[in-house]
Structure 1
Amino acid sequence: MSSLVNAKYSEWTRSLDTRRSMIAIFEHIRDIPYSLEVPMTDPGTAPEQMLRLGKGYCGPKHFLLAEMYKKMGLNVVFATIAFVWNDPDFHYPPELRALTTRLPVAHHLACRVQIGWRWVLVDATWDPPLKKGGFPVNENWDGYSETQCAVKPLRSAVRTAFCRTATSEACRTKNEAELCPLDGKKDHREAEDHSRYYREIVTKRKPEDIEQIHRFYQEFEVWLVKIRELE
């Protein structure tokens, strides 16, 4: 844990018990503005890089959350979740919506945390202002219940075609306690294992897919700025 991360951990959890510390860490990370502008793929440096820049996306957010939760003695694994950006609930402008239809399947990162006897999804991706854009912001988390997933997980049978019945509910039953791969997810105990798995995925992308992704990221970033400017 870097000195900056350690300082933030102390600041966010000072005088709080375990449950309130979990909530405080979650809320501080959730409130970091979501941004795809700067790649932060190294789990060893991404948390500090994000804190210094004051913005980041699902990867560095959950690397940081896992690092802090592990410091508290909690068991955490990384959940890699397949999804598509063409989500009908996101209030894209027409031009951006058109771009999403040409994107390949993407992969989201969240955490699964053992709380009591259950493994629950903890997703701190979207910051509150993005609720105006149709993003499922996790507000008022109680430190125990499962959060909404930031995206609609693609189950294995529909990985290449969007399922209109998909929701942001976690791919699991409410009574499931075991740590095991879930439909639509790939779990890793270590951040480095997730990073290795993700690199294997992105190296298979075609040049035209990479071009479309970069164009989408640029336009998506502009749109997020406009959402945050709305009253």
Structure 2
Amino acid sequence: MGHRNMNIIKEFEKVRDIPYRIPLFPEEPDECCTGKAEMLFKVFKKGGYEARYRLCTFRWNSLNLPKEIQKVPHDDNSSHTYLEIKIDEQWKVIDATWDSKLKDIFNANEWDGKSDTEIAVNCIECLSPEESLEYIKHILTPEAIIFDLKVNRKFYKAFNEWLEMKRAK
């Protein structure tokens, strides 16, 4: 499949620099890892690139969050979505999670258009491409979203607000 005339680095940066935000209600736009991966997936496909979703598990407490945010009740075990894109017949990790205004607290990836980027979280377990897709389909069901928000909404709100404060500095 031929690649259309597209600057994939600029496209990556556009998606990366959408401010990361976890939706607090099902009708809000998804600008966290899963939503950003979906946006980038569509861009890569449109450009003629082969791309696939990947998912890993992580713990929120591994992100060095302030104590007041860690104290907000939440499920510490979570999942993280990123992509792989095929370049020169090799799968490359592409993670546009953290926007560049968060570079003082998280690794806001730069990408050269051909190498792996770092995964935005400390992965505990990486699922296969097939398992990743199944898991993502599950977590995006209305029932799963409602359950997740019931358990984690206050934590997500505190996390989003902390990120906003960090961006403003």
- In structure 2, the gaps of 5 or more residues are none
**Residue of structure 1 aligned with 2:161, choices 222, 225, 228:** 222
- In structure 1, the gaps of 5 or more residues are 1-15, 51-55, 156-183
Would you say the 8 A contact 2:97–2:120 is kept in 1? yes
Would you say the 8 A contact 1:123–1:147 is kept in 2? yes
Structure 2 partner of 1:137: 108
Q: How does 1:77-226 map to 2 (within 5 A)?
A: 77-88=52-63, 90=64, 92-99=65-72, 102-132=74-104, 134-139=105-110, 141-155=111-125, 184-188=126-130, 193=134, 195-199=136-140, 203=144, 211-226=150-165
Structure 1 partner of 2:51: 76
Q: Distance in 1 between matches of 2:45 and 2:150?
A: 37
Q: CA deviation at 1:104?
A: 3.8
The root-mean-square deviation of aligned C-alpha atoms, in Å, is: 3.0
In the superposition, relative to structure 1, how do residues 216 and 186 fare at CA in structure 2: closer, same or farther (>3 Å)?
A: farther
What is the one-letter code of the residue matched to 1:149? I
Percent identity among equivalent residues?
28
TM-score (norm 2): 0.82
Rg (Cα) greater in structure: 1
Would you say the 8 A contact 1:125–1:150 is kept in 2? yes
Q: Distance in 2 between matches of 1:73 and 1:187?
A: 19
In the superposition, relative to structure 1, how do residues 190 and 220 fare at CA in structure 2: closer, same or farther (>3 Å)?
A: closer
TM-score (norm 1): 0.62
Would you say the 8 A contact 1:77–1:189 is kept in 2? no
Deviations 1:35-90, CA, capped at 9 Å, x for gaps: 1135569xxxx9xx56xxxxx111121111111111111111100111111115x3
Identify the structure with the greater strand proportion.
2
Q: Distance in 1 between matches of 2:52 and 2:94?
A: 10
In the superposition, relative to structure 1, how do residues 118 and 81 fare at CA in structure 2: closer, same or farther (>3 Å)?
A: same
What is the one-letter code of the residue matched to 2:14? H
Deviations 1:107-141, CA, capped at 9 Å, x for gaps: 11111111112101100010011122x211102x1
